[in-house]
Structure 1
């Protein structure tokens, strides 16, 4: 399989079909030579700016890893009254409830203020939450801080993959969008090792220092986010076509009209035609997901993927690794923290690898393979845990076997459900529903996290030391998800963002019309205005 074409850009394997739009863009892409993304300064700068956007994902990762680490600290548990069961679940789900509170507002903020400005707003709210958590004097204050953190996190997360998919270089879109969620593990790595480093600090600072450090990533993102340009699609939707073309010229053509002008003209024409056909984003509501067969199918994918990302058994380890390790006889605080840190390093690099090869496989193939492998891993994990418990945890090899299955399971999960969901969702959702769709997906994830936060904790406590019985639930869930994925998922690879409509039985943007259309921005009459867009037919 080829990962890079002759122009040095990421590409799909030769087995995949390429649409007319992709063929047109590929023909217009300037030939900068092999591995141009490492040689051309404007592409390097753009991809670094995309990394800045992807830092939104580090906040969730840091938080999950932080709680895993804190739960292994006796001083933290003692300060909060040794929480267990539902009380512990409330702490874990504080962020979830905060995210749900933001649901009615975040897509409106995103469509009104723009993708970049919404990220800034989210980071500022998140930092306020971190300050409250770091200064918490009791359980109630700690819980309130978790709500604020969750609200800010969701406000910054929703626009991020949307901005990346709409701004990145055409042939890099799949890889760059897939890289977004790998930063979950980047945050998790820092969270795991910060808690490991402070485990022996005296007094309350053993958990307050890791809480303070949670502000690191949003502060870094705020410091660089102003260098990130706004989404050209959003600008066109607001009648600001000159700004949109200027951004595309700078980051897709190196301000060279002769070399890259044709590519930019094509992109602008395709974006304009698609947005005109969809109407203005401000005129759309969530009820539009129910109005057409295509949109109802999109809603199904949004909900299913949000569910699968949280309800495939990963939540058991993400927030309750300490209890899972207890169930296989690993009870030392130091050992738990080392496993937590090592697992996150492993997850980051393997998910990053999968992100770079996402264009080499079809979307359905990746999802189905991921579900199948997770199912096999959970079956073996469950069997080994059962035998280990019946032998009173005396055979270390069985515990090590379970630990190995956890690592294999995460490789399987990351193959299909780390970076790929955001590639798939930004492809199936049209511009006018993209922010709303990502918001729904985040909301579904957070609702599922409520289950993970409360039920997992209670189930693991009540079934201990036979916690392996609870793993059977996840074996069944993975089996059902695999069947649904196999029979319902559509393929989207090999198409531009504007062309994916055809897989839903809708008419895509006509490439022939775009090729022949000269996109003019010389006068206001030739650039799409907010008024003209809002009056265009659906």
Structure 2
């Protein structure tokens, strides 16, 4: 129950019932008889999602760029051919910056909205890219990467939240799924930019400085255009700015129809969900330990990022050159071409697979992904072992490993690229979304730190035998998904709460006779 002063000033019409668990999104969707891209308001809204998508693109650019730089003799010579923990520190420089941003990012999202953190983080990314380009030694390059990590985390935490909370209800899963897929657009551009600049000359440092500077291009676009997007209506309701939230929904979801049943439905669900959460809210992060439903959420938001980072993909994302060296593909142009081809493949496959999320469901994609990755890693491991025994003389075995890398990426993209952000934003209620996303980032960072230091050392020490570790890890992931991941497809953000909290998801609203009292 809330005070009279907290009630929305706009009228919210009765929809079907006073029981929120019985409301139906399907029943209030407008029947226009035309595709969404012929509705101007939906076209503009969906095109506007490109701005927060660029946070993922920048993130992908970073990983692929560092892969490309490691295959460039110009970069290796300039920084003294770093290996082991010294190389790991450069990869983890971004992570060090992210760790510093952890306390700040959720506070910014909760107190300033979703747009300002994207603006601030992107501005810092531009500064970091300039410093990276101007680096004169190892230390300066490392500091620039820390600045990039600090700004990048702030922007990345807010971006998928803005997409999820602003998207049209029936478009949400696909739009959020595309968010992480745009990682590969950045990776593709970085891979081919480094391939092109490699041929500038063997002693020219601009061969690696140009790709480093271009890392600031997409963040610069975000700085310029982010305030052309509306603020999240769920954030506005959380701050009791009901009229502003309703205006956003009317303009972008109803095409200006102030009497839209869809807007009434969305406003009522958002208000009920947030006000119930405020009434039941505990202190900070401890709320994740307060109920069985929240403990289940905590398990998911820790398990998902660990799966995203500890399924063997870290080897491909940051240390592809070590894998290729281990199977006899050691020339710089050859490695750069494989890196570039892999990013083209990943971008196309990930976009296609994202379209199946609402058809197949999240849980089935997770299972399909993990089982497929395990099969690929097992074959990959066997081929690598035989290749080493034959002293890399049988090129078909090395080619087979590369084929398995491509197949592995197909399965990885099916379940651990697009679906994770959709799934996490769905299972978290609005008042816990920023904190939950922060926990997810912390878990991912811990996993990435492991990748950054353990992967290069292990690959140098035991080569293909290290793949056996990932075979075991993926097998455990299959069990976690099967027993711990419920299906969430076909539900609004507020309806997903019923899976975890039952009727308690909407508090004592069932006892009310008039839903407008909430």
Question: Structure 1 length normalisation: TM-score?
Answer: 0.89
Equivalent residue, structure 1, for 2:241: 240
Number of the residue aligned with 1:508:
505
| Two-structure CA RMSD over aligned residues (Å) | 2.1
Q: Which residue of 1 aligns with 2:287?
A: 288
Runs of 4 or more, structure 1, over 4 Å off, are 19-23, 280-284, 510-519
2:250/2:258 contact within 8 Å kept = yes
* Separation (CA, whole Å) in 2 of partners of 1:399 and 1:117: 48
Greater CA drift, 138-147 or 484-493: 484-493
The 2-side partners of 1:253 and 1:341 are apart by 42
Match of 1:8 in 2: none
Partner of 2:341: 342
Shift in Å at residue 493 of structure 1?
2.0
Deviations, residues 347-391 of structure 1 (Å, cap 9, x unaligned): 111111111111011222111111100000000000111111111
Q: Which residue of 2 aligns with 1:493?
A: 489
Q: Which residue of 2 aligns with 1:481?
A: 477
Asked if the contact 1:281/1:433 (under 8 Å) is kept, the reply is: no
Contact 2:276/2:507 (8 A) holds in 1 = no
Name the stretch that deviates more: 412-421 or 509-518.
Answer: 509-518
Distance change in 2, residues 1:254/1:193 (3 Å): same
- 3-state SS of the aligned residue for 1:257? coil
**Which stretch shows the higher mean deviation, 375-384 or 74-83?**
74-83
Provide the rounded CA distance (Å) in 2 between the counterparts of 1:421 and 1:184: 13
> In the alignment, what sits opposite 1:33?
33
Q: Is the 8 A contact 1:237 1:281 kept in 2?
A: no
Q: Distance in 2 between matches of 1:516 and 1:171?
A: 30
Q: Which moved further from structure 2: 494-503 or 235-244?
A: 494-503
Q: Is the 8 A contact 1:237 1:280 kept in 2?
A: no
- Work out the number of aligned pairs and report it: 497
In structure 2, relative to structure 1, the CA distance for the partners of 1:515 and 1:233 (3 Å cut) is farther
Counterpart secondary structure, 1:226: helix
Q: Secondary structure at the match of 2:311?
A: coil
CA distance in 2, matches of 1:477, 1:94: 26
Give the aligned partner of residue 156 of structure 1: 155
Please give the residue correspondences for 1:430-469 in structure 2 after superposition, counting only pairs within 5 Å: 430-463=429-462, 467-469=463-465
CA distance in 2, matches of 1:370, 1:397: 26
Measure the CA separation in 1 of the matches of 2:22 and 2:229. 26
CA distance in 1 between counterparts of 2:432 and 2:453 reads 32
Structure 1 pair 375–514 and aligned structure 2 pair: CA distance change class (3 A): farther
Deviation at 1:512, TM superposition (A): 9.4
CA contact (8 A) 2:281 2:287 kept: no
Is residue 101 from structure 1 mapped to residue 100 from structure 2 by the alignment?
yes
Contact 1:286 1:436 in 2 (8 A): yes
- Give, in whole Å, the separation in 1 of the partners of 2:258 and 2:30: 11
Contact 1:178 1:420 in 2 (8 A): yes
Q: Find the aligned partners of 1:238 and 1:183 in 2 and give their Cα distance.
A: 31
Q: CA 1:484–1:182 in 2, change beyond 3 Å: closer, same or farther?
A: same
SS in structure 2 opposite 1:171? helix
1:19-46 Cα distance to aligned partner (Å, 9 max, x none)? 9869722111111224x22211111110
Which whole-Å CA distance do the structure 1 matches of 2:25 and 2:513 have between them? 14
User: Structure 2, unaligned stretches of length 5 or more?
Assistant: 1-18
Task: Write the distance in 2 (CA, Å) between the matches of 1:233 and 1:113.
Answer: 13
Task: Give the whole-Å Cα distance in 2 for the aligned partners of 1:103 and 1:448.
Answer: 15
Q: Distance in 2 between matches of 1:502 and 1:150?
A: 36
Does residue 1:325 correspond to 2:324, yes or no?
Answer: yes
Question: Residues 204, 363 of structure 1: CA spacing in aligned structure 2 closer, same or farther, 3 A cutoff?
Answer: same
Q: Does residue 1:389 correspond to 2:400, yes or no?
A: no
**Please, what TM-score do these two structures have when normalized by structure 2?**
0.92
User: Secondary structure at the residue paired with 2:103?
Assistant: helix
Aligned partner of 2:305 in structure 1 is 306
Structure 1 runs not aligned, ≥5 long = 1-18, 520-525, 529-538
Residues in 2 aligned to 1:424 and 1:499: alpha-carbon distance in whole angstroms: 13
The CA distance in 2 between the partners of 1:216 and 1:307, in whole Å, is 29
The aligned residue for residue 264 of structure 2 is 265
Worse-superposed segment, 20-29 or 492-501: 20-29
Call closer, same or farther: CA 1:402–1:514 in 2, change over 3 Å: farther
Is contact 1:111-1:281 (8 Å) kept? no
Equivalent position SS for 1:141: helix
Residues 429 and 360 (structure 1 numbering): CA distance in 2 closer, same or farther, change over 3 Å?
Answer: same
For residue 222 of structure 1, what is the aligned residue in structure 2? 223
Offset, 1:163: 1.1
Aligned to 1:5: none
Q: Provide the rounded CA distance (Å) in 2 between the counterparts of 1:284 and 1:102.
A: 21
Residue 257 (structure 1) shift: 2.9
